[in-house]
Each structure stands twice: as C-alpha cells, then as structure tokens.
Structure 1
C-alpha cells in the first residue's frame, strides 16, 4: 500500500495497451488501459495543433494518496500542497481515480457527506481520461475543453508522471496566439492596403473588410459566451452548504457574490476545498463572507 504522501514507486498502467494504442485506431469511447482502466479519447477529427508537447509544459509531480484515505485527510493534503486535484491508488498502487475541488463541492458538501469518515473512493471520479507525454499541448487543451474537466494525468512509458492542469495549456495557447498576432500584423497591413485600393465609395468590399477586421483583430467575449449562459449569484450571508447545492443546480464550480446588484467577489469550489473543508469548518454554519 502506498504511503499517504504518495506511492513508493511510480503509478503504472499496462504498457502493452499503450503500444496497441499507437498501432491501432482508438474507438470514440476510448481505450481501457490497466487494471483500473483509464480512457484515452481520440483527438477530434480535423483538429491540428502546434509543436509544443505536454512534456514541455513544466509539469508538476502529481499528489497521490490511497483510495482508502478519508476525504478530510485528502483535502488537508491538497491544501498543504496548494493543488486542486489529486490521484488515487488502489492496493496494488495502480491509478484508480482522481479527486478534484469540484468533486468536493458537488459530491461531498452539497450531499452533506461526512468528510471525516468517508473514504475518497466513494466520491472520486473513476477511470479518468489521460494523455501521453508526447501529446501536443493544444490537443490536451481541446480534450479538457470538450470533456469539461480541468485536470489530466500524464503518462510516459506506461507510468503516470504528472497531473496536467488546464492552466498550463491555456498559458501555452495564449503564447501561441501572441505569436500569431505578430504574424497578423502583416495581414492587417494587407487589409489596410486593400481598403485604400478599393476606396471609400465601394460599400460591399468595405463591409467585407470591416467584418474581416472585426473577426480577426477585435474579437469580443460575446463570441465565446452563449446567449443562454446562467450566472450563479449568491449573497455573502448564504451558507457554504447553500452555495454548494446551487453549484450542483447550475452545474457550475463558481459563484459571483452580490450585494444589491453590485459585484463584491467570487466564491469557487477551490475556496470550499481550501478554506472550509481543509480548515474543518461546518458548511452549514459557515457563510460565504467568512
């Protein structure tokens, strides 16, 4: 059995399964790997990325604990390491699940689970999706966005070597966008040249150019936020338990704190993990403002 700070040897999955993954097509449902399976989902068709791989993202070693660890102890360990997720191992030190701050908010606090007596195995996400270390960073980001999760175990040579946070991929994507923007300056100059060539009396070409300019160089948040997006709003006097239940209802991991229609702050599932559960505070008696 692994010790509480992590297994004595690297987490493992079946190497032969990884070899098969490289030599055969993977079904849309993913490939089962290892004794307690992980799933590798196929990258979206037509999606191509850049050159940077997951391994080059300065990965941090994953925090691991046995699946028999209590929720409270797991939360304390996450808080001490300042991480929002950890990996769970079975009696054979095989990866069997993942636990995140969102799981704590929606599966533990909202359901009023006893954190001091319940093992993490009862609330963890089983069979987590993972990526290989040579996977393109942009592909890993796409996988997390489509799967609506923020953490991915990273596997190399059949062993789990790290836990990838979506923020790492976002930083890489932003850097790529900045480089693309530099190249875009030449396009902008070309667009401006076309405008001058067509003159101001040609309405249709000018309309096209304006639309092109707006789409390429002045994107707005409205282009990525759906019209029917619902924002979870709470009061500073709401209890943590109340907010956790609303997070489940809104399928959200964060809430905006309002006072008389004015934004006063934000409250997230990570706050619940770090500031409530890890500090052994009562969710039903602790308010958001506390």
Structure 2
C-alpha cells in the first residue's frame, strides 16, 4: 500500500500567522515552494498561503506585504492528511476540497507536503488523469 509519506515532499516548513507576507515570500523562495502552512499561537495549523494568495489578495489590491500577515490571508478550515493515510485517502481529500497542496502531519508535526507534482510523479497515469479531472472540473 502506498501511503501519504511515500509520495510527499519532505522538509516542509510552516510560518506563524503573525509573520509578514514579505517574510512568507522569502521563505517560499528559500525553500523553492509555492505554498506554506500557517500555524497559530499554539503551534497548530490554521491555514495555508500560496504565492498566488500574496499577489492576488495583497499586492493586486494595493496591500503592503511588509504589514499584512500570513494570518490575514488564512481562510476556511485547514486541510491536512496523516502521514500513514493511504494514497486513496490523499486523493479523496484533495479532490473533494479541490486543493492542489496538502500538508502531511505525523505525531502532530508537519513532516511534508503533497502537491500535484508529487501525485503525477508517484501514481499511475489513470489515477493522475482522474485526479486532474476532479481538481480542475468546474462542476460542483
């Protein structure tokens, strides 16, 4: 059985909700990633922000990334998956919520992220095609 930890990208990091968007962008650049989980004051995940969020929800609206924080952009219920979850559960979580990146948690600690690229790299073509169809479909 393939598990979440088998297909995830290791070394994921998160930032705290009070970090500025400038700092978030710097961390993304340093890690060469496009998304970061965001933690609250208790060290629990409270959301995820993407490079696109920073551009569309801050910069394009005239916001100041040196003043706006990661917490300002967090919306909705954060989604994640246990490191030992089966890959079918990973796909279901991503497909049902139409998300392209999924934090992987083990023993209450962030241990990795699963992205579309990870799915494409590790799964058979038929699963990748079905996944892409579900993620990108506009039907609700």
TM-score where L is the length of structure 2:
0.78
Once residues 174 and 105 of structure 1 are traced to their aligned partners in structure 2, the CA distance between those partners, rounded to angstroms, is: 34
> Of 73, 93, 98, which residue of structure 2 is paired with 1:123?
73
Alpha-carbon distance change, 157 to 176 in structure 1, aligned in 2, over 3 angstroms: farther
SS in 2 for 1:116: coil
**Matched residues in 1 for 2:121 and 2:7: separation?**
9
Structure 1 residue matching 2:2: 3-state secondary structure: coil
Partner-residue secondary structure (3-state), 1:110: helix
> Structure 1, residues 179-226: CA drift from partner, whole Å, max 9, x if none?
xxxxxxxxxxxxxxxxxxxxxxxxxxxxxxxxxxxxxxxxxxxxx5xx
Asked which structure has the greater CA Rg, the reply is: 1
Question: 75, 94, 104: which is aligned to 1:154?
Answer: 104
Contact between 1:152 and 1:164, CA under 8 Å: does it hold in 2? yes
Distance (Å, rounded) in 1 between the aligned partners of 2:91 and 2:51: 19
**Structure 2 CA distance, aligned partners of 1:167 and 1:125?**
24
Picking from 136, 142, 163, the partner of 2:92 is 142
CA contact under 8 A between 1:97 and 1:126: conserved in structure 2? Answer: yes
Q: Structure 1 length as normaliser, TM-score?
A: 0.41
User: Unpaired runs of 5+ in structure 2?
Assistant: 128-132
Does 1 or 2 have the higher relative contact order (CA < 8 Å, sep 6+)? Answer: 2
Assess, with a 3 A threshold, how the Cα gap between structure 1 residues 70 and 158 changes in structure 2: closer, same or farther: closer
In the TM superposition, 1:1-290 aligns within 5 A as 51-174=1-124
Q: Which runs of 5+ in 1 are unaligned?
A: 1-50, 178-223, 230-290
Shift of 1:69: 0.8
Pairwise CA distance, 1:114 = 1.0
Query: What displacement does 1:102 show?
Result: 2.8
Give me the whole-angstrom Cα distance separating, in 1, the residues matched to 2:52 and 2:126.
Answer: 29
Number of aligned positions between the proteins: 132
Change (3 A) 1:89 1:58: closer
Q: Is the 8 A contact 2:13 2:110 kept in 1?
A: no
Aligned to 2:130: none
CA distance in 2, matches of 1:82, 1:95: 21
Check conservation: 1:130, 1:152, Cα contact below 8 A. Answer: yes
